[in-house]
């Protein structure tokens, strides 16, 4: 993060604006909306800017800029096309530790002005750090269409009731839960549609009569997908943002973890081969204990929690202890990694079925029904198969799968570091050995792998190895 985002209270605060043209007028409009008192220094000042200054109770100096113009100001903006003057203003303000912005010159700025979506009192600021202002404006345009103007009414409703909610609930967690219930429920819909009196009545009823369930705990079992955060479901994102504590696995990507509520407690419970940070039985019990403490617990897993994720074991204990829970499916690694590798798992010319297979069982011995797996007209996807790759290939050949069967090992699938290693059952082990492959990986076996070179769309110029 190149800039720390901050909102300044400029009401009745004097702000210095150097320049009087169109750009200065645009900056003056924003300062005026924030309640600032404008001091403008320029030889020529646009009529609009004159009106803004007069309305703010400010002043205009029709002359050259002087160092003492900064006296009494809390903010400075230089909006001229004179580079030397802009540099001087910047230096003078920095010497006094006063925030300064030089329009379209980030190097001379101590702060930058973002693109703004104004739904006052809700205000959204978007910044590219001065590197791509047009992109920031395009993002602003998207948000303008997604967030109706009525959100201002909703924010006003929350502001009106804020103190009473604070008096009703001593705990910050309870207040947060109350507002999440209100802002995602019928009261919010009433406010957005302009029925503010009805919204206030329902809010009051919820506050004083229906708030008893705010202390109850719950567990969210959420699939985090194979790594790319854009593959998360909308429901997953919503629950990730309202959890009090998150238990997460090794396969949950950093990019996905960035979307978890920032002040949530985080507990790492990941596992590697022969190395478990916390035994599964302890994880199961911890979910119960935290929920019984009244916390909303996010159990975040890579891929899908019900496909080799042991999610069923975890919610069994929750059910036995009468803990409420929700399950949110995720895109499993087989679907995500194969799609990003350009390998369709089924294809009418190559494979009429697909099997998802664990690379190891509880005993670490892949005791599978190999004659069935050796059938030609199917695709096999092995999870956690890297350590036993040689055994898998040899056993498939021994049970009748053609040695020339195409295979692919996808490393870090769906992430920018993704690599796809392609070979056959006789060559893939040597290929992997030469490439220093590390988990997470997914092993795909079948004729559908032949399509990889043709359909590889995700960074195809540098990601494939054979």
Length of the chain: 466
Does the pLDDT at position 461 exceed 80?
no
Q: Taking Cα atoms as reference points, which of 116, 16, 122, 117 lies closest to residue 59?
A: 16
Question: Residue 361 has what pLDDT?
Answer: 45
Catalytic residue among 249, 295, 412, 424: 249
Is 104 annotated to bind ligand?
no
Question: Residue 425 has what pLDDT?
Answer: 97
Is 43 annotated to bind ligand?
yes
Is 414 annotated to bind ligand?
no
Q: What is the per-residue pLDDT across 216-237, written as a single tens digit (0 to 9) for each? A: 789 999 999 999 999 999 999 9
Q: Can 108 be counted among the known catalytic residues?
A: no
Question: Residue 302 has what pLDDT?
Answer: 94
Q: What is the per-residue pLDDT across 403-443, written as a single tens digit (0 to 9) for each? A: 999 999 999 999 999 999 999 999 999 999 999 898 899 99
Residue 39: beta bridge partners?
16, 59
Does the pLDDT at position 362 exceed 50?
no
| Domain 334-465 fold | 3.30.950
Which tokens belong to 331? Answer: 């895109």
Question: Residue 53 has what pLDDT?
Answer: 96
Is 391 annotated to bind ligand?
no
Is 21 annotated to bind ligand?
no
Q: What is the per-residue pLDDT across 242-264, written as a single tens digit (0 to 9) for each? A: 899 999 999 999 999 999 998 89
Q: Can 142 be counted among the known catalytic residues?
A: no
Token match 């081969």: residue?
273
Is 426 annotated to bind ligand?
no
Contact 147, 119 (CB under 8 A): yes
Is 47 annotated to bind ligand?
no
* Lowest-confidence segment of 240-249, 334-343, 455-464 by average pLDDT: 455-464
Q: What is the per-residue pLDDT across 91-137, written as a single tens digit (0 to 9) for each? A: 999 999 999 999 989 899 999 888 889 998 889 999 888 788 899 98
pTM of structure: 0.73
Q: What is the DSSP letter of 351?
A: B
Residue 14: beta bridge partners?
37
Catalytic residue among 33, 105, 173, 271: 271
Are domains 14-113 and 151-215 of this chain identical in fold?
no
Question: Residue 276 has what pLDDT?
Answer: 59
Q: What is the DSSP letter of 448?
A: G
Question: Residue 462 has what pLDDT?
Answer: 47
Q: State in words which class domain 151-215 has.
A: mainly alpha
Spatial distance between the Cα atoms of 335 and 337, rounded to a whole number of angstroms:
6
pLDDT category at 344 given cuts 50, 70, 90 is very high
| Domain 218-331 fold | Cobalt-precorrin-4 Transmethylase; domain 1 (3.40.1010)
Question: Residue 454 has what pLDDT?
Answer: 93
Spatial distance between the Cα atoms of 42 and 66, rounded to a whole number of angstroms:
11
Token match 């507990």: residue?
267
Question: Residue 220 has what pLDDT?
Answer: 95
Is 223 annotated to bind ligand?
no
What value does the mean pLDDT take over residues 298-317? 93
Alpha carbon distances (Å) from 363 to 359, 367, 386, 390: 11, 9, 16, 18
Question: Residue 86 has what pLDDT?
Answer: 96
If one counts every other C-beta atom within 10 angstroms of the C-beta of residue 454, the result is 9
Question: Residue 44 has what pLDDT?
Answer: 94
CATH code at 14-113: 3.40.50.720
Question: In 118-147, which positions are buried (b, 16+ CB within 10 angstroms) versus exposed (e)?
Answer: ebeebebebbbebeebeebeebbeeeeeee
Q: What is the per-residue pLDDT across 154-204, written as a single tens digit (0 to 9) for each? A: 999 999 999 999 999 888 888 888 998 898 888 898 998 889 999 999 999
Q: What residues does each domain of the chain span?
A: 14-113, 151-215, 218-331, 334-465
Question: Residue 441 has what pLDDT?
Answer: 94
């Amino acid at each position: 993060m190149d800039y720390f985002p901050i909102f300044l209270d400029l009401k009745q605060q004097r702000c210095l604006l150097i320049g009087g043209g169109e750009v200065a007028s645009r900056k003056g409009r924003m300062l005026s909306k924030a309640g600032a008192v404008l001091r403008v220094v320029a030889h020529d000042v646009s009529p609009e800017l004159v009106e803004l200054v007069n309305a703010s109770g400010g002043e205009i100096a029709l002359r050259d800029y002087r160092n003492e113009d900064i006296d009494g100001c809390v903010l400075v903006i230089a909006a001229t096309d004179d580079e030397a003057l802009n540099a001087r203003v910047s230096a003078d303000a920095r010497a006094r530790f006063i925030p300064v912005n030089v329009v379209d010159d980030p190097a001379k700025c101590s702060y930058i002005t973002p693109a703004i979506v104004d739904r006052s009192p809700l205000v959204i600021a978007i910044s590219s750090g001065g590197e791509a202002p047009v992109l920031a404006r395009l993002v602003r345009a998207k948000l303008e269409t997604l967030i109706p103007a009525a959100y201002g009414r909703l924010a006003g409703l929350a502001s009106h009731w804020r103190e009473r909610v604070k008096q009703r609930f001593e705990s910050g967690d309870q207040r947060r839960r109350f507002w999440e219930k209100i802002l995602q429920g019928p009261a919010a819909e009433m406010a957005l549609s302009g029925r503010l009196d009805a919204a206030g009545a329902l809010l009051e009823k919820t506050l004083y009569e229906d708030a008893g369930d705010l202390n109850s705990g719950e567990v969210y079992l959420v699939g985090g997908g194979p790594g790319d955060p854009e593959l998360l479901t909308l429901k997953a994102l919503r629950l990730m943002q309202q959890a009090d504590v998150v238990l997460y696995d090794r396969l949950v990507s950093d990019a996905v973890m960035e979307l978890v509520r920032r002040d949530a407690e985080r507990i790492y419970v990941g596992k590697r081969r022969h190395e478990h940070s916390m035994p599964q039985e302890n994880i199961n019990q911890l979910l119960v204990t935290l929920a019984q403490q009244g916390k909303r617990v996010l159990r975040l897993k890579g891929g899908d929690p019900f496909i080799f994720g042991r999610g069923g074991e975890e919610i069994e204990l929750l059910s036995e202890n009468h803990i409420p829970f929700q399950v949110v499916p995720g895109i499993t690694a087989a679907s995500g990694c194969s799609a990003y590798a350009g390998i369709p798992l089924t294809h009418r010319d190559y494979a009429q079925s697909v099997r998802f297979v664990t690379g190891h069982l509880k005993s670490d011995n892949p005791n599978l029904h190999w004659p069935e797996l050796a059938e030609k007209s199917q695709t096999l996807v092995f999870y956690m198969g890297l350590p036993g790759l040689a055994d898998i290939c040899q056993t498939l050949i021994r049970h009748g799968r053609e040695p020339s069967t195409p295979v692919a090992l996808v490393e870090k699938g769906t992430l920018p570091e993704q690599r796809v290693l392609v070979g056959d059952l006789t060559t893939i082990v040597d290929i992997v050995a030469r490439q220093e492959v590390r988990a997470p990986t997914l092993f795909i076996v079948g004729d559908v792998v032949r399509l990889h070179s043709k359909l590889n769309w995700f960074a195809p110029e540098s990601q494939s190895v054979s």
